[in-house]
Structure formats: structure tokens, C-alpha cells
Amino acid sequence: MARGLFALLYLSIALPAAAMPTDELLQKINTLVVRVQVELANGGYGVGSGVVVAQDEIVTNCHVIANANSIGVLSNGTSYTVSAIKPDWHHDVCILKVDDLNAPVANISPSKNLKYQQPVFATGFSDFSPVPSSTFGYVKALYPMDDSVIVRASSTFRLGDSGGGLFDDTGNLVGVMTLKSPGHNAYYYFMPVEWVQAALKQPEQDIHTKSETPFWAESLDKWPAFMRVVQPYITEDWTSLKTVATEWAKQEPNNAEAWFYLAAAEYGNKNNLLSEIHMRKALALNNQHSLAIYYLGLIAEDDGKHMEALTNIALLDKFDVSTADQLKLAIGITPIQ
């Protein structure tokens, strides 16, 4: 089996269509999402998105409003001026105070309650669009951080979407669109709503308050492990991946993602025995980790255990059909269309 192909599986496969929300739900969500327009101190302009999370209060990313001279909001066709902010610069979550904002408020559901493969959709004002648009996908990873979880989902976003909302299939706000990894096959990250709720309780500050660097824009050595594993995983730099993942697993022994990336590095290094041990550890911590099941299928097939590989396909068919089809192809079975 060609090991150079499997590592990019998650990044390159076409995902199955998510359960599409109704037009009624999308229209409701669109009333909650606003366009944020910023006049910068250097004379330039910036745009982003936001979500109404309390009466007269909107959440957006702090990087959207950093170094602003003035901040405006367009909500349901009406323009408003931001009078104050409540910044959490480190987590890149900022609350905008908008007096007399006439807009409905989003329902919030804890990010910590999300599950892998749960359908979600992201809504924002991408590419300078005058109206919000949505992309649909699934929760792909949850990374514990500061009393909540960073959400990675297959719902994509583009320029202008930063600060927009990630919603579950009932329309609850579960995350804030924030950043993606470099390159064409990007990972998309969403800040948790628990940080939004904490920021709402902070005192108001002037909009000209000096900005600070968010955690994800720090130097590489200060990045959390879930960011540092991406590049070596994509480029198949197994030695570097093993170094980062080993440290991560020691620091967070109950984190399924840490064990998964350590196992991926071992598989890339052709150590099936250790890879299987670590993959099973990841699966014990999260029984819906579809990539762990995928790799275990590869390992079983490599070791001549074809029936075990078929069992892994059957498991995947229950909640991640696309990855199940990829495993079928990897072990020489043509999926039925």
C-alpha cells in the first residue's frame, strides 16, 4: 500500500453533503449575523462579520477591529456605530457595544457539548458580499483549551467571514469563525462560545484601546500543539510530527487528538505495532474518531487481517460514509455508487 496517500486523506477527500438546514432556519440565522466595517488608523479599511449575542452586543474577532479608528455595523440593512468594546485579545474574541441595535439575539449552545461528525454550518459576509452566505460541514476535531474547546470543522470560510458564526443544525451558535491553516487543504478553526460568554462579562473599553496579539499569531514555539502538528502531518514529516505529538500526549494524556497524531507518525515511520497501540488509545478516548478507525483499517489490511479491515469499514459506515468509502478504495474495494 502506498503510504504517501493516506496522510492527506482527511484534507483532500470530498465530504458528503451535510443535512441542509431549512430555508426558514437560514433566514433566521441571517438576521443574527452582521457585517462589521472598520476604518483603520493607517487610513485603510477592513471588513469582517459578527453575531448578535446579547441585547445591543455583537461578538466578532478582535483581529477584525484591531487598530480601528471607528467601527460600524450593518445589521439587516441598517447601519450602526460601535460605541465601546469588551476585548479578549488573547483568545481573539471581542464584544462590540451597539446602542439601540434592533436585531434578534442568537441562542448559544456550549461548544464543549459538540460531538465529532455533528452537522454544523458557518455563516458570514464573505468576499465583501452585501448578504450573508453559509457553508455546511461537520465537526472534525475538538481541542481542549482554557476551559473550553477550539472547534475544527469542515465548514469553510473566506475573507470577510472572520467573526461570523458556526451554528448547529438547530440554529444555536456554537463557535466563532476565526482562522485557517495555510495552504489549499486548510484546517478551519472556530473559537468556542464559552469565551464569548466570558467576554460579555468584561467591562467596556474605548474602541481605540491598544490591540494585542492573539494566541494563534504568536511565534511558532508558542503555538498550541494542535496547530503545530498540521504542517508536519500534511508534508509527511514524520520525525517532526512524532516530536510534537509525543510532547502533546505527555502534556494531555486524555486528548484523543494527541494520540492520533502520534499514531499517524508511527504509521508513517512503518511501525504498525506502536501505531495500532496509539490509534486504539485515541479511539478509546473518542469512539467516533473516524481517522483513527481508518488507520486501524489500513493497519489490519497491511497485517493480512482483511476481515478486521472490513469491520472498520462497517463502523465508519455508521457515521462517516465518506471516510468509509476512502478505506474501501485503500484496501481495493470499489464503493457502490
- Of 23-27, 55-59, 82-86, 194-198, the range with the lowest mean pLDDT is 23-27
% of residues, the chain, pLDDT over 90: 83
Confidence of residue 1 (pLDDT cuts 50, 70, 90): very low
Domain boundary, last residue among 167, 185, 217: 217
Same domain, residue pair 278 and 294: yes
Same domain, residue pair 204 and 59: yes
Same domain, residue pair 63 and 144: no
Question: So what's the pLDDT on residue 21?
Answer: 81
- Of 11-25, 61-75, 144-158, the range with the lowest mean pLDDT is 11-25
Confidence of residue 43 (pLDDT cuts 50, 70, 90): confident
Same domain, residue pair 124 and 231: no
Domain of 270, in residue numbers:
12-16+219-330
Same domain, residue pair 55 and 184: no
Mean predicted confidence (pLDDT) in 177-196: 93
Confidence of residue 6 (pLDDT cuts 50, 70, 90): very low
Residues 6+ apart with CB under 8 A from 294: 6, 9, 312, 316, 323, 326, 327
Same domain, residue pair 236 and 309: yes
Position 7 in a domain = no
Mean predicted confidence (pLDDT) in 28-52: 93
Q: What is the spatial distance between Cα 281 and Cα 260, in angstroms, rounded to a whole number?
A: 8
Position 179 in a domain = yes
Q: What is the pLDDT of residues 78-99, one digit of tens each?
A: 999 999 999 999 999 999 999 9
Q: What is the count of structural domains for the chain?
A: 3
Confidence of residue 184 (pLDDT cuts 50, 70, 90): confident
Mean predicted confidence (pLDDT) in 282-289: 96
Position 233 in a domain = yes
Position 244 in a domain = yes
Mean predicted confidence (pLDDT) in 200-214: 95
Question: So what's the pLDDT on residue 231?
Answer: 94
Confidence of residue 70 (pLDDT cuts 50, 70, 90): very high
Chain-centre distance for alpha carbon 190: 4
Q: What is the spatial distance between Cα 245 and Cα 262, in angstroms, rounded to a whole number?
A: 5
For every residue of 181-197, DSSP letters joined together read: -SSSS--EEEEEHHHHH
Confidence of residue 337 (pLDDT cuts 50, 70, 90): low
Q: What is the pLDDT of residues 233-279, one digit of tens each?
A: 999 999 999 999 999 999 999 999 999 999 999 999 999 999 999 99
Question: So what's the pLDDT on residue 10?
Answer: 37
Same domain, residue pair 56 and 152: no
245, 234, 148, 162 alpha-carbon torsion, rounded to 10°:
150
**DSSP category for residue 277:** H
Same domain, residue pair 207 and 179: no
Same domain, residue pair 87 and 132: no
The CATH number for 296's domain is 1.25.40.10
- The β-bridge relationship of strands 57-60 and 93-98 is antiparallel
Cβ atoms of 202 and 88 closer than 8 Å: yes
Confidence of residue 12 (pLDDT cuts 50, 70, 90): very low
Neighbours of 104 (CB within 10 A): 11
Which amino acid makes up residue 313? Answer: I
Question: So what's the pLDDT on residue 19?
Answer: 58
Which amino acid makes up residue 143? Answer: Y
The CATH number for 46's domain is 2.40.10.10
Q: 132-143 burial, b for 16+ CB within 10 Å, e for fewer?
A: bbbbbbbbbbbb
Question: So what's the pLDDT on residue 336?
Answer: 65
For every residue of 8-41, DSSP letters joined together read: THHHHSPPPPP-PPPHHHHHHHHHHEEEEEEEET
Same domain, residue pair 325 and 235: yes
Position 316 in a domain = yes
Q: List the grid coordinates of 201.
A: 462579562
Confidence of residue 9 (pLDDT cuts 50, 70, 90): very low
